[in-house]
Amino acid sequence: MGDITFRDRATMLLSNLEEGREVRTYLKAFSRAEGGCFAVIKVGGALVQDNCAALGRHLALLQALELKPIVVYGAGPQLDTRLTDLGVGTERRDGLRVTPPEAVSVVAQEAAATGMAIANAVSAAGGHAMLAPTSTVKAQALDAEKYGRVGEAVGVHPAGLDQLLDNDAVPLIGCVAQDDAGLLYNVNADAIAREVARAVRPLKIVFLTSTGGMLNEEGEIIDSINLASDFDRLMGEDWVHSGMALKLEQIKKLLDCLPHASSVSMTDTDHMMKELFTHGGAGTLIRRGEGIHVSETADAERLEPLINEAFGATLKPGYFDTVKPDYVIHTARYRAAAVITKEDGIPCLDKFAVSGDARGEGLAKVVWRTLKDKSPTLVWRSRQTNPFNSFYMREADGFLRRGPWLFLWYGKIDEAKLFSLADELGSRPPAFLGDELE
């Protein structure tokens, strides 16, 4: 047996998670960015201060998986402490830290110190990270009279980033940038992250936050946002205002200028890997997405290729002649779909399919959420070897085993009817030629 590579060991480590099979699916999808940056990760100074070791472990693990992140970090609390110690104090206008010229050197020092803390944490975990030069991001004065030496990010010089990535280092970009004359500016880290993302066009943009995601009216994390179908609705909600409305608008504007496969995740440091590598995630996944449609009839010509590709098998001839859907949920481009029938008056999920190139985009979550909104009760079966079962288990209220099948359900259903349906569905033959896995 040949030597086990660092990537192999890292993959095995992730595969020990409950969702190990899901990890491999996402790893394959993210490896499409092998030639460049797969993710821009923005982390605030408070999270660096409170959880730097965990951040370092996650970044080192991404490196071991041969995925290339770029990290943009803030240093807000660190600056507050340092400026207070120096007797300078902190003044904010419109949410921005007023930065007189004499304070810029302090901002630069704290940004460098914070970056070194991240680099040391990555090194301690077996990885390699380096501070990008302050010339990496181009800045210009926002309003010198009002804010002092506060800048806005207006461009990126990618050569330095490319060199760091080519040398297998995680580039670390702080909240200080230069203008064309070499003057330093204090720049909001979120704004830098957006500008870097526009320049490198990653598959993922990750905002690490203390809340663990974007919160709804009840203070609960919103698991996914499909901007194509959710943006106008959310912006019309009374509880979406000020900072949240601005964040949504900024994210939409950013994703509109990136490849369709790009997405934004908001999560906390501890759950970053779960958010990146599992179907259920652990935060808020935001995508441009596709329109979601609910049809009473099945378009076999569009659905059959999707189902065959998603399951890696071929439906038996005449599948849609024998299976009569009660309704079908599908995305506008038929990259994800759910086929629902009625069994003894109860909605039954007959097929749930997501195309390979759409995995990791959050379409499964959007289709599933639409399904739950339309059907408060649901039953379905799944092969016990189905790699999607960890997601199903999280969504189900219970399950039974019937031969090679799991029979799952959510919602309030009579117990006797559940056992009857489990026996009936468990006895049905597979829908694919050659008895392939469903």
Q: Who wins on pLDDT, 132 or 27?
A: 132
Predicted pLDDT at 12 = 47
Q: Is 149 helix (H, G, I), strand (E, B) or coil?
A: coil
Q: Is the pLDDT of residue 348 over 90?
A: yes
- pLDDT at residue 1 tops 60: no
In this predicted structure, what is the pLDDT of residue 131?
Answer: 92
Q: How far apart are CA 180 and CA 138, in angstroms?
A: 7
Q: Is the model's pLDDT at 28 over the cut of 60?
A: yes
Q: Which pLDDT score is estimated for 34? A: 46
Tokens of 64: 């071991």
Dist CA 258 CA 197 (whole Å): 8
* Position 176, amino acid: V
Q: What tokens appear for 335 in the block?
A: 């990259």
Residue 3 pLDDT exceeds 60: no
Arithmetic mean of pLDDT, 54-61: 90
- Judge whether residue 438 has pLDDT over 50: no
Mean pLDDT across the stretch 159-168? 83
Q: Give the pLDDT band (50/70/90) at residue 2.
A: very low
Can you give the pLDDT at residue 279? Answer: 62
Q: Of the given ranges (125-139, 175-189, 201-215, 279-293), which has the lowest mean pLDDT?
A: 279-293
Domains of the chain: 6-287 (3.40.1160.10), 292-435 (3.40.630.30)
Residue 159, helix vs strand vs coil = helix
User: Over the chain, what is the mean pLDDT?
Assistant: 83
DSSP string, 45-61: HHHHHHHHHHHHHHHHH
pLDDT attached to residue 180: 87
The string of pLDDT tens digits covering residues 350-387 is 999 988 777 666 678 788 889 999 999 999 999 888 87
More confident residue, 109 or 274: 109
Report the chain's C-alpha Rg in angstroms. 24
Provide the token pair at 253. Answer: 């504007």
- Indicate if the pLDDT at residue 4 is higher than 50: no
